[in-house]
């Protein structure tokens, strides 16, 4: 079984029979010793003090009281209708309810895309940094993840020429994560149109993860790629976890944009395989439909949270500018940023893992390694941490950098 997991997830146990401890394992050991570690990369609003709206929680209770417990309720037709309405009103994209495939989480929507499209030996293209689960599941499906660099000094915009050169006859789709986790990049319309042009020229699809579309700092919202795509097929992944602060409820969806019906077989495959991704609980599905019918109310409810996130983003940009050896391209969306610590690499630490291992051992502060996202020399910081933890954590980081560089 260990050999199978190694092969599927891209880790070679024969070559590395005793993998080094992960940061999470080191953190766990330190906590067992009674030490308090400050983790500065959370992405879970409810766990960070931002609960869902009471009216949405009441909707789940009411659904249970109304006897919504069966299989049929878990596939309530009201949910695709409500999501299609939300996409039209918020993103300006016309979807039919039959274009919407609810899934138990946005990750499940990605898996549904992979199940429907990929065969062993196929290829996917993604600009870096890449949300780690895209690659995990690409390894599982024995698909090659073809990575292209992005211009960190230009708002992390992708290198379109590099992406075009990566396309082969085995390429199935281009992944877009907009706004980006972990860099906080927001792709402008010119960039999105460039990606769409590449997909159209090469007759491939686009998979677009837009879970943070609503959460931008310097523009009203990020543009949904399907709004610009016209005749290029797009599979969109989204969900309720961040907009409604219900990360643990497991409500996502795959929206299929194919207005010219170029890929009817794919639509049939998605419909057939959606059952393999599981179904959400019936009361949650009913409440989710009610939530999307009232999405404007939900967006209004989280404005104080968005204000907090923006304020912390601004504080971090200014604070990191004060620390020698660390730089940060200003995040424009999502809940995260990706500071660069490469100036110290090769002089003191061999890579970001080495850097963060020493940091957690000496200062009891931890982040997520950038190499998790194919951006070695960086680390992810979250904007949901408390003001006090951010202040203490970055004071310790500055002290650490002064000591070693």
Does residue 201 surpass a pLDDT of 50?
yes
**DSSP notation for 283-310:** HHHHHHHHHHHTHHHHHHHTHHHHHHHH
| Residue whose C-alpha is closest to residue 172's, from 114, 230, 227 | 114
Structural domains of the chain, count: 2
Does residue 85 surpass a pLDDT of 90?
yes
Q: Are residues 83 and 184 in the same domain?
A: yes
Which among 275, 300, 325 is the end of a domain? 300
Does residue 130 surpass a pLDDT of 60?
yes
Q: In this structure, are residues 60 and 287 in contact, taking their beta carbons and an 8 Å threshold?
A: yes
Supply the pLDDT for residue 5. 46
Distance CA 138, CA 127 (A): 15
Q: Are residues 283 and 399 in the same domain?
A: no
Q: In this structure, are residues 225 and 206 in contact, taking their beta carbons and an 8 Å threshold?
A: yes
Q: Are residues 16 and 155 in the same domain?
A: no
CATH number assigned to the domain comprising residue 114: 3.40.640.10
Specify the 3-state DSSP secondary structure of 245: coil
Write the pLDDT tens digit of every residue in 224-253.
999 999 899 999 999 999 999 999 999 999
Write the pLDDT tens digit of every residue in 247-294.
999 999 999 999 899 999 999 999 999 988 888 999 999 999 999 999
Which among 266, 300, 334 is the end of a domain? 300
Supply the pLDDT for residue 153. 94
Does residue 346 surpass a pLDDT of 70?
no
Supply the pLDDT for residue 20. 62
Structural domain boundaries, residue 351:
2-50+302-404
Write the pLDDT tens digit of every residue in 149-184.
999 999 999 999 999 999 999 999 999 999 999 999
Does residue 13 surpass a pLDDT of 70?
no
Write the pLDDT tens digit of every residue in 359-396.
999 999 999 999 999 999 999 999 999 999 999 999 99
Q: Are residues 219 and 333 in the same domain?
A: no
Does residue 19 surpass a pLDDT of 70?
no
Q: For 339, phi and psi rounded to 5 degrees? A: -60, 150
CATH number assigned to the domain comprising residue 379: 3.90.1150.10
Which among 269, 300, 331 is the end of a domain? 300
Distance CA 369, CA 357 (A): 10
Q: Are residues 333 and 289 in the same domain?
A: no
Q: Are residues 12 and 96 in the same domain?
A: no
Q: Are residues 115 and 214 in the same domain?
A: yes
Q: Are residues 218 and 318 in the same domain?
A: no
Arithmetic mean of pLDDT over the chain: 92
Q: Are residues 208 and 309 in the same domain?
A: no
Q: In this structure, are residues 209 and 110 in contact, taking their beta carbons and an 8 Å threshold?
A: yes
Question: Which tokens is 169 given?
Answer: 């006859």
Q: Are residues 65 and 125 in the same domain?
A: yes
Q: Are residues 135 and 31 in the same domain?
A: no
The model's pTM is 0.92
Distance CA 181, CA 375 (A): 12
Q: Are residues 252 and 138 in the same domain?
A: yes
């Amino acid at each position: 079984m260990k050999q199978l997991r190694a092969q599927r997830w891209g880790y070679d146990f024969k070559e590395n029979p005793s993998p080094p401890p992960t940061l999470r394992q080191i953190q766990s050991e330190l906590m067992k010793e009674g030490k308090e570690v400050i983790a500065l990369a959370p992405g879970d609003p409810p766990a960070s003090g931002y609960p869902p709206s009471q009216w949405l929680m009441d909707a789940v209770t009411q659904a249970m009281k109304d006897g919504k417990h069966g299989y049929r309720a878990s596939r309530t037709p009201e949910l695709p209708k409500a999501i299609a309405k939300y996409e039209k009103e918020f993103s300006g994209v016309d979807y039919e309810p039959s274009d919407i495939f609810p899934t138990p989480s946005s990750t499940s929507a990605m898996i549904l895309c992979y199940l429907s499209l990929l065969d062993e030996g196929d290829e996917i293209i993604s600009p870096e940094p890449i949300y780690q689960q895209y690659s995990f599941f690409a390894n599982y499906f024995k698909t090659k993840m073809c990575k292209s660099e992005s211009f960190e000094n230009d708002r992390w915009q992708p290198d379109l020429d590099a992406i075009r050169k990566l396309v082969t006859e085995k390429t199935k789709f281009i992944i877009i994560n907009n706004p980006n986790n972990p860099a906080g990049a927001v792709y402008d319309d010119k960039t999105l149109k460039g990606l769409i042009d590449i997909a159209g020229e090469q007759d491939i699809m686009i998979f677009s993860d837009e879970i943070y579309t609503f959460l931008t700092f310097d523009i009203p919202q990020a543009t949904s790629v399907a709004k610009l795509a016209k005749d290029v097929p797009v599979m969109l992944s989204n969900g309720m976890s961040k907009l409604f602060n219900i990360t643990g409820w497991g409500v996502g969806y795959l929206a299929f944009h194919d207005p010219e019906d170029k890929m009817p077989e794919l639509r049939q495959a998605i419909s057939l395989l959606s059952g393999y991704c599981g179904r959400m609980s019936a009361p949650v599905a009913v409440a989710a439909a009610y939530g999307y019918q009232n999405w404007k109310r939900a967006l209004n409810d989280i404005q104080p949270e968005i204000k907090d996130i923006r304020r912390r983003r601004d504080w971090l940009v200014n604070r990191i500018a004060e620390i020698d050896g660390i730089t940060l391209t200003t995040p424009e969306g999502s809940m995260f940023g990706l500071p660069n610590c490469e100036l110290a690499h090769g002089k003191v630490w061999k890579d970001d893992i080495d850097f963060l291992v020493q940091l957690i051992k000496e200062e009891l502060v931890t982040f997520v390694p950038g190499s998790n996202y194919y951006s070695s020399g960086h680390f992810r910081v979250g904007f949901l941490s408390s003001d006090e933890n951010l202040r203490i954590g970055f004071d310790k980081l500055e002290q650490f950098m002064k000591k070693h560089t």
